[in-house]
Amino acid sequence: MSLNKKLLELHRQGGFIRVGLVGAGQMGRGMISQIGSMKGMRVVATADVRPENAKNAYLFAGVSADAIVETRDLEKAERAIEQCQVVVTDDMQLLLALPNVDVIVDATGIPSVGAEIAWKAILNKKHIVMLNVETDVTVGPLLNKMASAAGVVYTGSAGDEPGAVMELYNFADAIGFEVLAIGKGKNNPLNVQATPDSAREYALSVGANPKMIASFQDGTKTMIEMTAVANATGFVPDQPGMHGPSATVEELAQVLRLQQDGGILSKTGVVEYVNGVAPGVFVIVTSSKEEVVHEMKYLKMGQGPNFVLFRPYHLCSLETPLSVAGAYFYNEQTIAPWKGLVAETVTIAKKDLQPGDRLDGIGGFTVYGKIMTAAEAKSLNALPIGLVQAQTVTRAIKAGEVITYDDIEQSTSSVIWELRKLQDQALQTGSL
């Protein structure tokens, strides 16, 4: 049965999927409003370090002020949900512990926070939907295995670009096409020097966080998203950082083909980003069957032998409820690192760094991310971008250099750091 029918059936029975949300920023706000228009689902509790963000998200979604209960008390929160009110809290731990929450959504975008959310959601036997690709590319393989062992679902989100790419890939793979390349459009020219300061004016004009916009502009977000796709499909970047060509949709099949055929690729089975097709996602396919190629030409899909399957939009957190419902009804994953750690987004110095300098993380002033194969990253002892947490630099590093584990001083531990250690050990022993 389709998800809309399952949700309607649940609604008619007087029930609904009880969603707990962590992070009431732009993505979280949109999701609360979208779910407010749905039957059979409700965001019953939202945690944010600024509770007013969560309150405003509910108010914008049409929830009356007297139906919003702010608390840090577990029993009070449980009673509020039982009485069809919604809970707002600044205590993430309270939300994760709530027994009357079925599915957790992480919309924080912070790798270290996301790791703790996913880990504790799994320990509490709750499905976890990650609107946090940054965490997934760092410790996703381990979290995915932990969730499976616990009998719950760990999944990326529909509507996020990796999820949208996966939708096309699954379609193409299921009907027997040979998939040659998969990827997404980039919304802006690559500028690895972008910082919150340089991005601030544009960010304010669209009501976004300057750090988030800087992470888009410097390419880190694109690298992370395609790393998630690589780990889900086994496809790899053709070269570190990918090619990033410019092309229209009509030109994609010509550009993303092998060099001996006039394209830019040294191999097939690759992830890639392209300037000029944003906000779309794409899959390049072919077939060895003459009749299939003939049919594709007849259907005006191009002249072949390679063809483009293109989705011209992705609706970000507005589609996240589909992943929530898929996990709840069918134990279904939208996208997860089924292939393990195939690729890595490593840390690159954004400027010259000196001993004693502190790294400031994704979308900041000191580093950006670059995709490469996991094997290449391991050979360099490269530091994954998701592990950057204000570490101190121990040697002089030039702008553009890969930052390694040996280049930093790790003074404190964290959930994501410990999970990554466990993941590395499991990969080394072949148990993951």
Write the DSSP symbol of residue 384. B
pLDDT for the residue 16: 98
| 148-162 mean pLDDT | 98
Mean pLDDT of the chain: 97
pLDDT digits (tens, 9 = 90+) for 170-199: 999 999 999 999 999 998 899 999 999 999
pLDDT for the residue 358: 96
C-alpha 228/C-alpha 360 separation (Å) is: 22
pLDDT for the residue 55: 98
- CB under 8 Å to 289, separation ≥6 — which residues? none
Look at residues 196, 366, 168 and name the one whose alpha carbon lies nearest to residue 271: 168
Indicate whether 411 pLDDT > 80: no
pLDDT for the residue 206: 87
Q: What is the reported pTM?
A: 0.96
pLDDT digits (tens, 9 = 90+) for 81-140: 999 999 999 999 999 999 999 999 999 999 999 999 999 999 999 999 999 999 999 999
pLDDT for the residue 369: 98
C-alpha 58/C-alpha 350 separation (Å) is: 38
Tokens describing residue 391: 């570490």
Tokens describing residue 419: 């999970």
The domain spans of the chain are: 3-159+317-330, 161-313, 343-429
Q: What percentage of the chain carries pLDDT values higher than 90?
A: 96
pLDDT digits (tens, 9 = 90+) for 328-343: 999 999 999 999 999 9
Q: Which fold has domain 343-429?
A: Type Iii Antifreeze Protein Isoform Hplc 12 (3.90.1210)
SS3 306: coil
pLDDT for the residue 28: 96
In 73-123, at which residue ranges do the beta strands (DSSP E only) sit?
A: 86-89, 103-106
Tokens describing residue 164: 């949208």
Whether the Cβ atoms of residue 46 and residue 94 lie closer than 8 Å to each other = no
pLDDT for the residue 166: 98
Whether the Cβ atoms of residue 256 and residue 263 lie closer than 8 Å to each other = yes
pLDDT digits (tens, 9 = 90+) for 274-330: 999 999 999 999 999 999 999 999 999 999 999 999 999 999 999 999 999 999 999
CATH: 3.40.50.1010, 3.40.1380.20, 3.40.640.10, 3.40.50.720. Which one for 3-159+317-330? 3.40.50.720
pLDDT for the residue 152: 98
Q: Which residues pair with 373 in a beta bridge?
A: 343
Tokens describing residue 30: 């949109």
